[in-house]
């Protein structure tokens, strides 16, 4: 794990924006070989998005060949609600850059079948060959995405009930009224994040200091899901000075010494590997869920005027192949279990984000 410490949150955000730009550029993405980027919401990434937008406007970076997957979304909050993560992403990022609408993937917290929506999301990630770089924030209780304390460290995209701490923390976006905060979310799982080729976490502010300490210095523990990244081969945590307040001086000095020795994390990312889109098959005997359940078609909600990109996900033929099953270990593209050996050859990503190079 690499830890980069900057004095202020602005400097930490600049660092991450630089890093993302450098990774996208080194990948030299094309339409057929896009850069697959996982993205978060929250106050912490706001400055990162601002910097990315500014540098896009300066002509330094294009997102035309970038495909994004957002970490999470509230359940039941209308898409055009100002606090939905759809609204957040368009307001702070998507509306200001050249990413094609069809390249944007955000979980639909109003889907008629939430389990199917989660399975579809995982399948869409798999079809792109996995996520190259997953950017995330961290909650004060150490959660990443909405993987609250106690979440399985092998979890995949699913419905998650929010913890009291998170409802309290996020009530600031809902007029400080906890009753207005949705109680449930759709979120990528810890394993979904672990499968990304690299993970970059932004942690800023003294209120994140305990989470950073538990995540970095404590053992791997499902009560502080950030700590799972200790097992990731390419995890980078970028903090401001305040977020390091609970770390041992020794820990801080060690991570600073790595940078002082001339090792720049921005040029030390994992080797970029081309992972082609792939067909994710469905095991025999499953996948007819939709037909069996006769799920009613719900009219898509109208996109608000200020959200200029239409994000409607058009269910395609491919979705009939999904296995809408909340038991993540039984999902068709699971890298952690339940994978029929006859299907393994069709998948291009394996456990812990390591990649298979295609010929
Ligand atoms: C929410 C999001 C997380 C985010 C966390 C921290 O719970 N689901 O993805 O990391 O908030 O947000 P903030 O950066 O506002 O502290």
pLDDT in tens, 282-304: 444 433 433 434 434 444 444 44
Q: Which of the residues 117, 141, 242, 319 is marked catalytic? A: 141
Lookup: tokens for 6: 């900057």
| Mean pLDDT, rounded, for 128-133 | 96
What confidence score (pLDDT) does residue 215 get? 98
| Mean pLDDT, rounded, for 244-254 | 98
| Mean pLDDT, rounded, for 230-256 | 97
Contacts of 225 (CB under 8 A, 6+ apart): 142, 143, 144, 147, 148, 149, 151, 153, 190
The whole-model pTM stands at: 0.78
Atom of ligand 1 nearest to the CA of 44: 14
Q: Is residue 53 part of a domain?
A: yes
Q: Which of the residues 56, 92, 96, 143 is marked catalytic? A: 143
Lookup: tokens for 224: 């502080």
Q: Is residue 89 part of a domain?
A: yes
Ligand 1, atom 9, lies closest to the CA of 145
What confidence score (pLDDT) does residue 21 get? 97
What confidence score (pLDDT) does residue 358 get? 39
Ligand 1, atom 13, lies closest to the CA of 42
Q: Is residue 343 part of a domain?
A: no
Atom of ligand 1 nearest to the CA of 205: 16
The pocket around ligand 1, CB under 6 angstroms, is made up of 40-44, 71-72, 137-139, 145-146, 166, 170
What confidence score (pLDDT) does residue 300 get? 41
What confidence score (pLDDT) does residue 268 get? 66
72 is catalytic: yes
Q: Is residue 300 part of a domain?
A: no
Q: Which of the residues 122, 148, 213, 242 is marked catalytic? A: 148
Q: Give the span between the Cα atoms of 309 and 136, in whole angstroms.
A: 23
- Print the domain residue range for 258: 2-267
- Distance from residue 214's CA to the centre of ligand 1 (Å): 17
Q: What angle do CA 85, 56, 7 make, to 5 degrees?
A: 75
| Mean pLDDT, rounded, for 276-286 | 49
**Any idea what the CATH number is for the domain that residue 236 is in?**
3.40.50.1360
Q: Is residue 49 part of a domain?
A: yes
- Distance from residue 326's CA to the centre of ligand 1 (Å): 23
What confidence score (pLDDT) does residue 355 get? 37
Q: What angle do CA 150, 155, 156 make, to 5 degrees?
A: 140
Ligand 1, atom 6, lies closest to the CA of 139
Q: Is residue 354 part of a domain?
A: no
Q: Is residue 302 part of a domain?
A: no
Give yes or no for a contact between 245 and 204, defined as CB atoms under 8 angstroms apart: no
What confidence score (pLDDT) does residue 203 get? 98
What confidence score (pLDDT) does residue 290 get? 38
Give yes or no for a contact between 109 and 84, defined as CB atoms under 8 angstroms apart: yes
| Mean pLDDT, rounded, for 297-312 | 42
What confidence score (pLDDT) does residue 347 get? 34
59-106 tens-digit pLDDT: 999 999 999 999 999 999 999 999 999 999 999 999 999 999 999 999
Q: Is residue 73 part of a domain?
A: yes
Q: Which residue has the tokens 């998507």?
A: 94
Atom of ligand 1 nearest to the CA of 41: 9
Q: What is the mean pLDDT of the chain?
A: 82
205-228 tens-digit pLDDT: 999 999 999 999 999 999 999 999
What confidence score (pLDDT) does residue 285 get? 40
| Mean pLDDT, rounded, for 163-191 | 95
Give yes or no for a contact between 206 and 139, defined as CB atoms under 8 angstroms apart: no
- Distance from residue 192's CA to the centre of ligand 1 (Å): 17
- Distance from residue 32's CA to the centre of ligand 1 (Å): 32
143 is catalytic: yes
What confidence score (pLDDT) does residue 270 get? 74
- Distance from residue 329's CA to the centre of ligand 1 (Å): 26
Number of structural domains (the chain) is 1
What is the pLDDT confidence band of residue 242, given thresholds at 50, 70 and 90? very high
Q: Strand 184-187 vs strand 158-161: parallel, antiparallel, or unpaired?
A: antiparallel
């Amino acid at each position: 794990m690499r830890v980069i410490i900057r004095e202020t949150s602005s400097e930490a955000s600049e660092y991450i924006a630089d890093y993302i730009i450098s990774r996208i550029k080194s990948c030299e993405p094309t339409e057929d070989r896009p850069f697959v980027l996982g993205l978060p919401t929250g106050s912490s990434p706001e400055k990162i998005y601002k910097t990315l937008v500014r540098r896009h406007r300066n002509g330094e970076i294009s997102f035309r060949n970038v495909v994004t997957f957002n970490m999470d979304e509230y359940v039941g909050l209308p898409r055009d609600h100002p606090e939905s993560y759809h609204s957040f992403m368009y307001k702070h990022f998507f509306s200001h850059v050249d990413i094609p609408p069809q390249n944007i993937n955000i979980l639909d917290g109003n889907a008629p079948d939430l389990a199917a929506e989660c399975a579809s999301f995982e399948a869409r990630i798999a079809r792109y060959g996995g996520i190259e770089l997953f950017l995330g924030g961290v909650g004060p209780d150490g959660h990443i995405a909405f993987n609250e304390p106690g979440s399985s460290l092998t979890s995949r995209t699913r419905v998650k009930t929010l913890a009291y701490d998170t409802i309290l923390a996020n009530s600031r976006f809902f007029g400080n009224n906890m009753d207005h905060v949705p109680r449930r979310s759709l979120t990528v799982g810890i394993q979904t994040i672990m499968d990304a080729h690299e993970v970059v976490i932004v942690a800023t502010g003294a209120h994140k200091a305990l989470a950073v300490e538990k995540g970095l210095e404590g053992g791997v523990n499902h009560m502080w899901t950030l700590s799972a990244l200790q097992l990731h081969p390419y995890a980078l945590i970028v903090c401001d000075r305040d977020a390091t307040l609970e770390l041992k001086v020794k820990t801080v000095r060690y991570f600073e010494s790595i940078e002082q020795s001339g090792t720049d994390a921005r040029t030390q990312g994992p080797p970029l590997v081309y992972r082609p889109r792939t067909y994710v098959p469905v095991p025999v005997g499953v996948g007819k869920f939709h037909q069996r359940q006769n799920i009613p078609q719900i009219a898509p909600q109208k996109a608000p005027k200020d959200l200029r990109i239409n994000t409607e996900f058009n269910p395609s033929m491919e979705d009939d192949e999904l296995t809408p099953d909340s038991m993540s270990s039984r999902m068709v593209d699971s890298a952690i279990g339940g994978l029929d050996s006859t299907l393994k050859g069709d998948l291009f990503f394996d456990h812990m984000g390591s990649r298979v190079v295609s010929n």
